């Protein structure tokens, strides 16, 4: 207030004195007075606000110091009581089912549990058993979905599933597990390895069999159906071996015939090796069969000439050399049998000569050589 009064007095007296000295007009003196009074008021207000802020800051600082002093003098608050540590129970290796029948996992862990606070008279006599049972139930739900060969992956899933606390079925305890171990026994591991090897071998065998069936079907139904298709298939293996393929046509004809369980086509029989060519039947005359004539397996007529020079058309097929000789039951063929035996003797086939004499009943006939000797005597 003193500063405001002093400023107002100075703002009034200073313009009036200056106006009297310099002879100012009254309105000029009035304007100067108003300006000075306004400036003085602004300065006074600002100084007042500054003093007020300083006073507020001082009060705040003083309050904070007082609070610190009080806090330093007051005793520290008691810490909250520490929660009871969870109880533990160890699970020795137990068998848990896997996704493969009769091959279980061996599961072991440390179970942690806390009671959930029952009303009086409702607590369980063996809360540790409840905690172990709850952990085993949760573990079984995981292991039965995994293959025994994936024991490492299943152990990670178990650690994630059993690591968080969960209530048991009766809401008596909250249980979780740590230090989880999941293994497969050595005998079961060896069994799995054998099964895996057999499974892979079976897959390979199935693929080999399917491939063999495909190749056999391709060769039997498309390639080896005829000699021509067989030759084309062989030439397709190397189209530059034209001359070699031509030389192998006989062999390829044999291959085609063998694949179809048939004889080599007559058009290719001359290309076979000498010892494999079929020999034509003796005394067979190729002829178109007519009504009443006999024919062999190749559709050729068979005619046999007897001792009298008559062509006999047999109704039955010729099965051996004996069928080509005249009928021994006909007495007109006896002389033929005698001459045949003498001819065989001349060529040193005495055993066949005796058989011919027996066939035609000429045992008593003199041998031609003996008769000639008697005549010369």
Express each pLDDT in 85-103 by its tens digit. Answer: 888 999 999 999 999 888 9
- The pLDDT mean for the chain works out to 78
What lies within 8 Å, CB to CB, of 294 at 6+ separation is 301, 302, 313, 314, 315, 316, 317
pLDDT of 140-188, one tens digit each?
999 999 999 888 999 999 999 999 999 888 888 899 999 999 999 888 8
Cα 188 from chain centre: 23
In this predicted structure, the answer to whether residue 351 has a pLDDT above a threshold of 90 is: no
Interior angle at CA 80, CA 74 and CA 85, nearest 5: 155
The greatest distance separating any two alpha carbons of the chain, rounded to the nearest whole angstrom, comes to 218
32 vs 145: which has the higher pLDDT: 145
Give the pTM.
Answer: 0.42
In this predicted structure, the answer to whether residue 113 has a pLDDT above a threshold of 70 is: yes
Which residue do the tokens 């003083």 mark? 62
11 vs 36: which has the higher pLDDT: 36
Beta bridge partners of 96: 105
In Å, how far are 223, 229, 235, 268 from 241, measured between CA atoms?
18, 16, 7, 20
Of 123-137, 199-213, 307-321, 359-373, the range with the lowest mean pLDDT is 307-321
What's the average model confidence in pLDDT over 111-138? 81
What percent of the chain stands above pLDDT 90?
23
Run of H or E including 361 = none
Q: What is the pLDDT of residue 206?
A: 95
In this predicted structure, the answer to whether residue 281 has a pLDDT above a threshold of 70 is: no
What's the average model confidence in pLDDT over 205-212? 94
Please count the CA atoms within 13 angstroms of the CA of 232 that sit on its side-chain side.
Answer: 9
Run of H or E including 248 = none
What's the average model confidence in pLDDT over 46-72? 81
What's the average model confidence in pLDDT over 231-241? 89
Q: What is the pLDDT of residue 375?
A: 42
Which pairs count as long-range contacts for 335-344, CB under 8 Å and 24+ apart, including other chains? 335/307, 336/306, 336/307, 336/360, 337/361, 337/362, 338/362, 338/365, 342/367, 342/368, 342/369
Q: Measured between alpha carbons, how far apart are the two ends of the chain, in Å?
A: 203
Which 3 state secondary structure label does DSSP give 302?
coil
What's the average model confidence in pLDDT over 39-61? 81
Q: Where are the beta strands (DSSP E) in the chain?
A: 87-96, 105-115, 166-167, 173-183, 303-305, 311-313
Q: What is the pLDDT of residue 145?
A: 93
Q: What is the pLDDT of residue 1?
A: 62
Which residue do the tokens 């090897």 mark? 197
What percent of the chain stands above pLDDT 70?
77
Confidence of residue 296 (pLDDT cuts 50, 70, 90): very low
Confidence of residue 21 (pLDDT cuts 50, 70, 90): confident
């Amino acid at each position: 207030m003193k500063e405001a009064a002093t400023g107002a007095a100075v703002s009034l007296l200073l313009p009036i004195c200056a106006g009297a000295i310099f002879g100012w007009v009254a309105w000029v003196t009035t304007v100067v007075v108003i300006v000075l009074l306004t400036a003085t008021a602004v300065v006074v207000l600002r100084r007042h606000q500054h003093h007020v802020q300083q006073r507020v800051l001082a009060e705040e600082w003083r309050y904070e110091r007082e609070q610190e002093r009080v806090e330093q003098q007051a005793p520290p608050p008691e810490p909250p009581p520490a929660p009871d540590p969870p109880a533990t129970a160890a699970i020795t290796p137990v068998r848990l089912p896997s996704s493969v029948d009769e091959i279980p996992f061996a599961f072991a862990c440390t179970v942690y549990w806390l009671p959930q606070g029952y009303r009086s008279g409702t607590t369980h006599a063996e809360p540790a058993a409840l905690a172990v049972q709850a952990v085993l139930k949760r573990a079984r739900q995981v292991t039965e979905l995994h293959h025994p060969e994936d024991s490492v992956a299943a152990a990670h899933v178990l650690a994630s599933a059993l690591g968080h606390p969960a209530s048991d079925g009766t809401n008596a305890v909250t249980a979780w597990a740590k230090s989880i171990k999941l293994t497969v026994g050595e005998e079961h591991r060896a069994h799995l390895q054998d099964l895996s090897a057999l499974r892979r071998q079976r897959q390979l065998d199935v693929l080999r069999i399917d491939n063999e069936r495909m190749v056999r079907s391709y060769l039997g139904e498309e390639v080896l159906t005829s000699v021509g298709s067989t030759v084309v298939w062989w030439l397709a293996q190397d189209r530059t071996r034209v001359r070699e393929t031509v030389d192998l046509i006989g062999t390829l004809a044999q291959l085609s015939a063998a694949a179809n369980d048939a004889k080599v086509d007559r058009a290719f029989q001359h290309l076979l090796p000498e010892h494999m060519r079929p020999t034509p039947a003796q005394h067979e005359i190729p002829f178109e069969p007519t009504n009443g004539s006999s024919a062999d397996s190749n559709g050729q007529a068979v005619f046999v000439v007897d001792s009298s020079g008559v062509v006999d058309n047999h109704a039955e097929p010729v099965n051996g050399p004996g069928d080509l000789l005249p009928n021994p039951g006909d007495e007109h063929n006896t002389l033929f049998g005698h001459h045949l035996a003498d001819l065989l003797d001349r060529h040193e086939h005495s055993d066949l000569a005796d058989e011919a004499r027996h066939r035609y009943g000429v045992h008593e006939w003199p041998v031609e050589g003996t008769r000639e000797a008697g005549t010369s005597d």
